[in-house]
Structure 1
Amino acid sequence: MALADKDGIGSVSMRRIAQELGIEAMSLYHHVANKEDVLDGMVDQVFAEIELPADGTEWKTAMRQRAESAREAMIRHPWAISLLGSRSAPGPATVRHHNAVLGSCRAAGFSIHMAAHAFSLIDSYVYGFVLQEVNLPFDESADLDEVVDSMMLPFSAEDYPHLLELTTEIILQPGYSYGDEFAYGLDRVLDSLEAAARG
């Protein structure tokens, strides 16, 4: 995971893992079957980092906490976004996570179909948001004035007044963070799911 965090998922190979550990690649096969086994374990570890909904926690609170925790885990491990739903051999943390999310929905009175919809919609929002967030051309440490100037320089303010308005009224304001949009969107998703489950 440290290797993928540092150099991306493409850097993860049996040879590179062995090199990082200071051992021969063949030694790894005493512990894992192949690279797919390693990837399964990495994904399971990411799921282990995501806070599970606690029994008895109100549904929206539980889903909000889980979504925020999932976002934090994926920001720590951006390579995981493309792998979390792709593994055909889920580990115990993955299975426990999925069961807890569905259980929280069912305890809130969601039908099994509505629980499936909720799980899919929440995760689609979280994964999509994080994918966009980690690929922005700037981060929290960047000088946004310089980044925006370089991005907007080739374009006329008269031709793109709405983009200029967004940039000056929101993005360039002190304390702006794209990540702050996460809570607003998540609340809309949760509100709509709650309304649909009641309807």
Structure 2
Amino acid sequence: MAEQAETLRRTPLSRDRILHAAVALADLAGIESLSMRNLAQDLGVVPMALYKHVANKDELLDGMIDVVVGEIDPPVRDAGWKHTVRRRILSAREMLRRHPWAPLAIESRNMATPALLAYLDSMVGALRAGGFSTDLAHHVMHAMGSRILGFSQELFDASRRAGRSGATDPEPPAAFPPEVAARFPHLAEIAVAASHDDASVVGQGCDDQFEFEFALDLLLDGIERLHQEGWTSSRPPGERQDG
């Protein structure tokens, strides 16, 4: 292990090496630990050496996002739009499990990175290849939201946090605090209706695997129905075609 680390430190510095080292550092210690100084120390170089390859920390973060997005499985040829979209979204989710800092990093950027744009473009391409109109494809991407990147915000985590008020002895994760449950009984009832596996959560505040796939399949089934009906956004509100 020591020999491998020494060999890596002797490898000529490059943008690719810097980005992968930054990803590894964020994976190990969290995105908040990432600084040009810490990264340079890990690479065995002075901080100024990094700036020959990345202009600043913003460019570093963009490059890191492109590295991890590049881990998402490519489309399977002739697999059908529904299978392709579902498989790639779940692959994106697996990527986020390996890199739990990525959702926050992606959401923090003002503009999508090239690899992220390419991924989103290919997902729209899968819909168009499946016969979707540009109109329906547009609304599908909005409906998917962050779920198309493999994550979504968990509803009940925020609700439970709202009732804790900094308490040092919070209720078990599956239950609302008593005072919150008394005010919002219906939410409290469904919050304990099923257990959630904390080990399957992509990141803090994100839903677990079962709930994610449940919602994803609901969306995909609904999208499939609209596609078969020839749905368009120009149809008057409330009007629908019988299947």
TM-score category of the 2 structures, normalised to the smaller one: 0.7 to 0.9
Alpha-carbon deviations, 1:110-157, whole Å to 9, x = none? 122322222232243355844439x799xxxxxxxx9358x5675699
What's the TM-score once normalised by structure 1's chain length?
Answer: 0.74
In the alignment, which of 40, 48, 57 is matched to residue 26 of structure 1?
A: 48
Relative distance call for 1:184 and 1:114 in structure 2 (3 A) is same
The secondary structure found in structure 2 opposite 1:114 is helix
**1:192 maps to what in 2?**
222
Q: For the pair shown, which has the larger CA radius of gyration, 1 or 2?
A: 2
Relative distance call for 1:18 and 1:182 in structure 2 (3 A) is same
The whole-number CA distance in structure 2 between the counterparts of 1:35 and 1:157 is 44
Aligned length: 186
**1:90 maps to what in 2?**
113
Letter in 2 for 1:170: A
Relative distance call for 1:165 and 1:50 in structure 2 (3 A) is same
Relative distance call for 1:23 and 1:116 in structure 2 (3 A) is same
Alpha-carbon shift at residue 107 of structure 1 (Å): 0.5
What runs of 5+ residues in structure 1 fail to find an aligned partner?
138-145
Relative distance call for 1:20 and 1:62 in structure 2 (3 A) is same
**1:103 maps to what in 2?**
125
Letter in 2 for 1:50: I
Alpha-carbon shift at residue 95 of structure 1 (Å): 3.8
From the two aligned structures, give the one with the greater helix fraction. 1
The secondary structure found in structure 2 opposite 1:84 is helix
In the alignment, which of 171, 191, 194 is matched to residue 195 of structure 2?
A: 171
Relative distance call for 1:107 and 1:15 in structure 2 (3 A) is same
The secondary structure found in structure 2 opposite 1:102 is helix
- CA-based RMSD of the aligned residues comes to 3.4
Listed as ranges, the matches of 1:35-184 within 5 Å are 35-84=57-106, 86=109, 88=111, 90-91=113-114, 93-126=115-148, 129-132=151-154, 147-148=172-173, 151=175, 154=178, 166=190, 170-171=194-195, 178-184=208-214
Alpha-carbon shift at residue 186 of structure 1 (Å): 0.4
What's the TM-score once normalised by structure 2's chain length?
Answer: 0.62
Q: Is the 8 A contact 2:181 2:188 kept in 1?
A: yes
Alpha-carbon deviations, 1:33-59, whole Å to 9, x = none? 111111111110121011232232111
Q: Is the 8 A contact 1:4 1:12 kept in 2?
A: yes
Relative distance call for 1:103 and 1:25 in structure 2 (3 A) is same
Q: Is the 8 A contact 1:67 1:122 kept in 2?
A: no
Alpha-carbon deviations, 1:31-88, whole Å to 9, x = none? 2111111111111012101123223211111111011111111222222113336353
The secondary structure found in structure 2 opposite 1:30 is coil
Q: Is the 8 A contact 2:103 2:151 kept in 1?
A: no
Identity of aligned residues (%): 38
Alpha-carbon shift at residue 191 of structure 1 (Å): 1.7
Q: Is the 8 A contact 2:27 2:99 kept in 1?
A: yes
